[in-house]
Amino acid sequence: MSYNKPKVSVVIPTYNRAHMLSKSLNSVLNQTYQNFEVIIVDDGSSDNTEEVIRSFQKVDKRIVYIKHEKNKGQSAAENSGIKLAEGEYIAFQDSDEWLPEKLEKQIRLIEKSDSDLGVVYTGFLRIMGNKKVYVPGPWVKQKDGYIYNELLKGNFVSTQTILARKECFQRLGLFDERLKALQDWDLVLRFSKFYKFAFIDEPLVLAPFMPDSLSVNYKVMLESYELIISKYYDDFYKDKFIASIHNLSLSSLHFKCRNFKMGIRYLMKAFKEDLKYMEYHLRNAFLYKLTIKFQRDLQNDSSYNSIFL
């Protein structure tokens, strides 16, 4: 009997989230586009993750399951899945929910494009309680094409929204396992230097905030941020506007980690070297807060049912 390779490999790293896995996995299996395999990498879970996955495997043979004997971190789990992938394209799921047409719309776009298009990504809704924020926001100026310079300002391409050619990983490498956070930013920075990105302006992924998310661990965030700064230092600091963004971010993270001396140093550097940009950043911070309030007010209006809220 002949074997047809899947067009897409969906990699799902998971660690002690058995309670969320069924919903996430069902959102993949219920896609309108069905030519895919699912590679679930259990990163040393101690809950009933394996039991949940085995129950799915009984009814869907496209599911591949591997388990790390000990927890190695998300980047290592994603890399294990990529190494096993047989598809021409790779997508990721991470305790989130895909809307049914996500893969179909991405495949349709990338299949009709030239080979210099390496990644198709979508909008997503970041959900925190009753708050729903659409990403990327209107402050992102360039979302298509060669977006490296835009990504230098900060990340707006989340791993769970991308469909990437496998050749991107083969040519430019996998996730940097030294990074315990922000590994998605590092990956898309690397890819966007050499490949075009295409954006589907729809929230095709729902991403709930996790209380155990590494984004709330400021020490891990700071260590990862500093590593990324070192990797792209020349590009970050050749533009004073971009430098001002990162000086302020580093200052904030140092203060949150109670490294007050370093926090003050980066703050003073930001004001001393990038004073003309301070008004811009303060204004944007104010507008961002107004946007969140506006979205919350609309959400409370029962007559307004936009999916973007």
pLDDT band at 306 (very low <50, low <70, confident <90, very high): very low
pTM to 2 decimals? 0.86
Helix (H) or strand (E) holding 135: strand 131-135
**pLDDT at position 217 over 70:** yes
Q: CA-CA distance, 198 to 216, in Å (whole number)? A: 30
pLDDT band at 270 (very low <50, low <70, confident <90, very high): confident
**pLDDT at position 297 over 60:** no
**pLDDT at position 6 over 90:** yes
DSSP 201-231: EEEEEEEEPPTT-GGG-HHHHHHHHHHHHHH
Q: What is the pLDDT of residue 280?
A: 54
CB-based contact 119:197 (threshold 8 Å): yes
**pLDDT at position 301 over 70:** no
* CA dist 41 → 6, 155, 232, 307 (Å): 18, 25, 30, 31
| Candidate from 123-132, 216-225, 287-296 with smallest mean pLDDT | 287-296
pLDDT band at 211 (very low <50, low <70, confident <90, very high): low
Tokens linked to 293: 């309030």
**21, exposed or middle or buried, with CB in 10 Å at 0-12, 13-18, 19+?**
buried
DSSP assignment, residue 106? H
**How confident is the model over 65-70, as a mean pLDDT?**
95
Q: CA-CA distance, 206 to 151, in Å (whole number)? A: 22
* CA dist 138 → 123, 133, 135, 246, 288 (Å): 12, 11, 9, 20, 10
Q: What is the CATH number of domain 8-208?
A: 3.90.550.10
Q: What is the pLDDT of residue 274?
A: 59
Q: CA-CA distance, 256 to 7, in Å (whole number)? A: 44
Domain-by-domain residue ranges, the chain? 8-208, 239-296
pLDDT digits (tens, 9 = 90+) for 135-171: 999 889 999 999 999 999 999 999 999 999 999 999 9
Q: What is the pLDDT of residue 208?
A: 85
**pLDDT at position 287 over 60:** no
Per-residue burial over 259-280, b = 16 or more CB atoms within 10 Å of its CB, e = otherwise: beeebeebbebbeeebeebeee
CB-based contact 164:119 (threshold 8 Å): yes
Tokens linked to 19: 């309670």
